Every structure is written in C-alpha cells, then in structure tokens.
Amino acid sequence: MADTPHLPERPVYVVGGGPGGLSVAYALRARGIRAVVLERSDAVGASWRAHYDRLRLHTTRRLSALPGLPMPRRFGRWVSRDDMVRYLEKYAEHHDLEIVTGVEVSRVDPAPDGSGWLLHATGGRELAGAAVVVATGYNHTPRIPDWPGREGYGGELLHAGEYRSPAPYAGRDVLVVGAGNTGSEIAVDLVEGGAERVRLAVRTVPHIVRRSTAGWPAQFTSIAVRRLPVRLVDRLARPVARISVPDLSAHGLPRPDTGLYSRVREGAIPVLDVGLVDAVREGRVEIVAAVEGFDSDKVLLADGSRISPDVVVAATGYARGLEGLVGHLGVLDGRGRPSVRGARTPAEAPGLYFTGYTNPISGNLREMAIDAQKIARAVAGDRRRNVSRLPV
C-alpha cells in the first residue's frame, strides 16, 4: 500500500480571546480540529478586564455560560465583571485551549496557493490557516462623535470605556452622554459613588425594562418572543411597560413612541433597569437634551441650553474596527459589520467566519455559545480544507 502523502498542518485560527473566540476554539477542539487563538493582549478576556467595576451581566448565569463548562453557582444569578474574567481564565485552562497572547492580527488575506488563509500579525509574522474565525468583539473601538468644538473643549472628556469607578468623580458635576445600558448604569454608579451632580444627555428616549420582575428575568421573555413577528412583540410590550415601569415623562423621559422590538431590530437594545428609574424619579439623575457641540468650557445642548459640567463621560458606543482586518475582502456591510455571521461564510471568502458581532435581545453570550457549535460543524463538514487533527 502506498504511503499517504504528508499534508502540512494548517490549524483554524481564531482571532480574539474573548468569550466568542474561546467558545469557538473549544467547539472546534471537541471535534478534533486544531484551533489556535490569537489574542493581542497578554491574557484572555481583555475587554472584560477593562469594563467598569460595578458591571454585572444582565443575562442570567445559567444562560451566559459557554459550551462545555457551567458557571459556578457561587457567582450568583447576575455575574460580576471579576467573576466573568475568572470564568474565562478557567474556561481556557479547563479545555486546554491553544492560546497565543501578545499577537495582533492586522490583516487577513486569501492564501497565495488558493488554499485557506494568510494572516499578517505582529512582528511580521505570516500565519497560514485552513480557516479563520474573527472574534475581536462587539465593543472593539471606542467611538466619540465628532461634535463641533470638541477639540477645543476645556473640560475633562472621556469615553465610557475609560471609566472604572465613581471615586475620581466624588463631589464633581458629571454629564453622561448616551442613555443606553452603559450610560444609564454609569450615571447610577456616579450618584451612588458621591458625585455632586449627575446629568444624563438623551437623544433618543430608550425603552426601559426591569431586569427581573417577581424573579422572572427579562432574558427569559426575550428568548421566548425573539422569533415572533415584530409588530406582535411591539404590541405585547406596551402594556407590560406601563405596568412594570412608571411614567417618567415629568422627569424628561417620556415613553418611547416606537415599538420595543422594532428598535431592537434597528440595533437598540432596551435599557435593563439597575437603579436608573428610581434615580430619575428622585431627581438624583437629571435628564437633559442631547449634546450638540462644545464652546470652550461649555457643552451645547439640543434645546439651546449651555451647561458647564466638570466632566463629560461619552457613553456613545463602539465601532467594530474590522475595516483594516477584512474590509478589503468585501465582507462588511455599510456600517462596518460582517455581512454574514455564525456558520455562514461569505460567498467571496469561503472559510472566513465571524462571531459576536450582534447584540441580540436574547443575550450576546448565549448566542455566541450557539454560534460556536454551528461554526465548528461548518468547518468540520468542509472536506476541501486541510485541517490538522489533534492526536487521539
């Protein structure tokens, strides 16, 4: 019998050592496929380590675990930032994942021989992979609007990604810009941490949902309704909101005039209340108009008013930051997001996968765990790729 020709080993490269990347690496390894995680920082879960101190998941512990390892019960129902980091570290160790830290991938190109992919990485490295899974994270590049006068602003301006705790802002006047989950929670954190005055600038009034009602997490309902027609969910959500969340119109937060699920489909996740409602009702968080620009040390608001906070915290979101990495491949939409995700691979880039680039109402971690299994099945089923097998 003739010897089988030796084929060079080409692993699947997973770009990013957060929850999405780690779960895909595990799912691939469970199928006997070698997966190498490339993480630009010096440890897994870098973005989680950088979150503000009080952060807790808004999804339940049980439905936030990654495949192959439950979260410990001692973490409680709403897992803290530090426990999430511990879990990611344990996950990588428990599954003996192959992780290379300190390596940043700057560009992904088709391999010159037409088989697989070539990754350009730190130090001039060129890595040949059978397939590539991009998992660099939903919150990758902090984004601050190019407000008129921003460069000449004389006050302190920082992105929410730089905020850690309220201690540096005790006794100070702080304006938080953006009424999403991050901005709302930072505003509450500042109030509870001793800030003298906290204002929250709102452009689009958010839908506010109780994180849990009578012990029933909002995530359970979100999972149950996510496949229902958008208009039906919008109609069902209105009476629930009236019953569970008080009318804050007198305080500057009227009920939204658009449907909850319609907004979700546009990318706007409801605010899960962790104290904002009470803080607004009690006047501890003041609602003000959207920021329109800056003039020296003044902040200009959409209603024509001018205010002079000591600090401005811009909770204005993040960009995906994928243009330099894969933008030249024609796989991103007009907003810089992957045109296809999960187990689907772009027709013009077979073998290139993306995970973690949506913010679903049912929970990002839950959906990444599901996507990981789907991606692993897709990679395993592709007989055209030269994927090296782990020793049995």
| pLDDT per residue as tens digits for the range 287-296 | 999 999 999 9
Rounded to an integer, the average pLDDT of 213-230 is 91
Q: Domains plus CATH for the chain?
A: 12-140+320-380 (3.50.50.60), 143-314 (3.50.50.60)
Rounded to an integer, the average pLDDT of 237-256 is 94
Q: How far is CA 278 from CA 118, 191, 192, 317, in A?
A: 53, 11, 12, 24
Rounded to an integer, the average pLDDT of 258-277 is 91
Q: How far is CA 148 from CA 50, 166, 294, 301, in A?
A: 29, 28, 6, 12
| pLDDT per residue as tens digits for the range 353-380 | 999 998 888 999 999 999 999 999 999 9
Burial of 376 (0-12, 13-18, 19+ CB in 10 A): buried
Residue for token pair 């690496």: 25
pLDDT value for 384:
40
Tell me which of 12-21, 42-51, 355-364 is least confident. Answer: 355-364
Rounded to an integer, the average pLDDT of 46-59 is 93
3-state secondary structure of 130: coil
Determine the Cα–Cα distance for residues 56 and 79; give it in Å rounded to an integer. 5
| pLDDT per residue as tens digits for the range 88-142 | 999 999 999 999 999 999 999 999 988 899 999 998 999 999 999 999 988 888 9
Q: Which residues pair with 357 in a beta bridge?
A: none
Query: Torsion angle, CA of 160/164/166/172, rounded to 10 degrees?
Result: -50
Stated as kind and residue range, the H or E segment containing 48 is helix 46-49
Determine the Cα–Cα distance for residues 102 and 46; give it in Å rounded to an integer. 11
pTM > 0.85: yes
The strand pair at 306-307 and 298-301 is best described as antiparallel
Rounded to an integer, the average pLDDT of 160-187 is 97
User: What does the mean pLDDT of the chain come to?
Assistant: 92
pLDDT value for 226:
86
Closest CA to 110 of 346, 378, 341, 319: 346
Rounded to an integer, the average pLDDT of 317-338 is 93
pLDDT tops 70 at residue 6:
no
Burial of 276 (0-12, 13-18, 19+ CB in 10 A): buried
Rounded to an integer, the average pLDDT of 242-261 is 94
pLDDT value for 101:
96
